[in-house]
Amino acid sequence: MSLSPSQNNKTLRRRREILEGASRVFRERGLHATGMRDIAAELDMHVGNLYYYFRNKQDLLAFCQQDALDGLLSRARTVRKEELRADTQLFKLIYAHVHLLNYELPASLAHLEIEALEPEVRQPVLRQRDEYERLLRETVDEGIQSGLFRQTDPKVATLAIRGAVNWTVKWFRPGGPAKIAEIARQFAEYLVMGLLTPGIPPEFPDSSELAFLVGSGSPSPEQRL
């Protein structure tokens, strides 16, 4: 007798399946163009059935966004814990962000559209978003403090970074000419170089250190996108 399916373990797995199906349709048709019926169709189920797993569309949307931010946050925390130079650390943060968003996280697209959430559901998502932003900004701050980075407003720099990396979701498509790992590397390089104090040689992680992405933290067994 479980009125709220979120407790059961199996139904929670199903919720993830729905998340992935929904995210697939979001990518194809766009977040706002997809209705509950589209999501149901993608999963070969009936509309009403979705409401067994989610109270409403907002609930489903919030679940997607939570998942995306969870992924970003857990990775960012891991990187932050390593004691590295600010430039190396920022490089990894940016690299991980681009990679996660376009390769591992199914719900990444939703992450771009917090405005789509109604205020009640938006709040917890917003809190996580701010926490993530804090991690980024702290890294930039440290870089400036240590003289490694130029004297700039870390808030503005962080927003520039967030914009560049989030925007990738809008144009990157898996089948395209460029590989996501290479794009992630170039983004990280570009956005760190822009902060470095002129004259200081950057210290970037080599590719072996970037394998940290594959197979840890991400909860899905098969690669998703």
Interface ranges with a second copy (CB under 8 A)? 30, 32-33, 115-116, 150, 152-153, 155-157, 159-168, 170-171, 178, 183, 186-187, 189-196, 198-199, 201
Nearer to DNA, 1 or 208 (CB): 1
Q: Which of 45, 73, 160, 225 binds DNA (CB under 7 A)?
A: 45
Secondary structure (3-state) at 42 = helix
Nearer to DNA, 3 or 221 (CB): 3
Residue 36: contacted member of a second copy, DNA, none (CB under 5 to 8 Å, by partner type): DNA
Nearer to a second copy, 11 or 58 (CB): 58
The residues with which 196 forms a beta bridge, in sequence order, are 149
Secondary structure (3-state) at 216 = coil
Of 91, 98, 93, 96, the residue nearest 203 (C-alpha):
91
Interaction of residue 51 with DNA, rule CB under 7 A:
yes
Q: CB–CB of 143/86 below 8 Å?
A: yes
Nearer to a second copy, 48 or 201 (CB): 201
Q: CB–CB of 105/224 below 8 Å?
A: yes
Q: Which of 28, 30, 47, 214 binds DNA (CB under 7 A)?
A: 47
Torsion, Cα 106 207 92 22, to 10 degrees, reads: 0
What residue type is 139 in one-letter code? Answer: T
Which residues lie near DNA (CB under 7 A)? 1-3, 5, 8, 10-11, 14, 35-37, 45-53, 55-58
